[in-house]
Amino acid sequence: MIYVSRLEHFNAAHKLYNPKWSEEKNKEVFGPCANTNWHGHNFELIVTVKGKPNPDTGFVIDLKKLSTLIRKHVIEQVDHKNLNMDVPFMAGKLASTENLVMEFWKILEPRIAELSENEAKLHSLKLYETPRNFVEYFGE
């Protein structure tokens, strides 16, 4: 079993805001992350796929195809977007990196299984909001 990773990035605006709470409560819990008019980040996403190398290619998965798949199904949905306003799969959800990464999993897991000719599977998603704040998810 080998774990193969591809890094992609996107630039997006968001804010952390719970509509069930008052403005004061949001400020108290989220601080400047709740500022009304959004802020943003250069997000980095690492997609890790595990499997056995195909003897004909030496590849667990073709990283060019994996990159194309990630860009088409995730990056294009979020890049240069407002995560609170523009992204259908985040509608009604808090735009935290935790929630983002779980939605990305739902999108990528079946498509990577389908792309793979070799029973390779999505293993983990790592999402950097900044170089100092990041999350990782293994699908459960």
Catalytic sites, residue numbers: 33, 80, 129
Residue 73 within binding range of a copy of itself, rule CB under 8 A = no
Query: Which C-beta is closer to a copy of itself: that of 30 or that of 89?
Result: 30
Provide the minimum distance between the beta carbon of 113 and a copy of itself in the complex, in angstroms, as a whole number. Answer: 19
From 71, 73, 79, 115, residue interacting with a copy of itself (rule: CB under 8 A): 79
Q: Which of 69, 59, 61, 70 is nearest to 126 (CA)?
A: 70
d(CA 103, CA 118): 25
Per CB under 8 A, 94 contacts a copy of itself: yes
What the block records as the tokens of 84 is: 């609170």
Angle formed by the axes of helices 63-70 and 97-115, to 10°? 130
Residue 103 in the binding site for a copy of itself (CB under 8 A): no
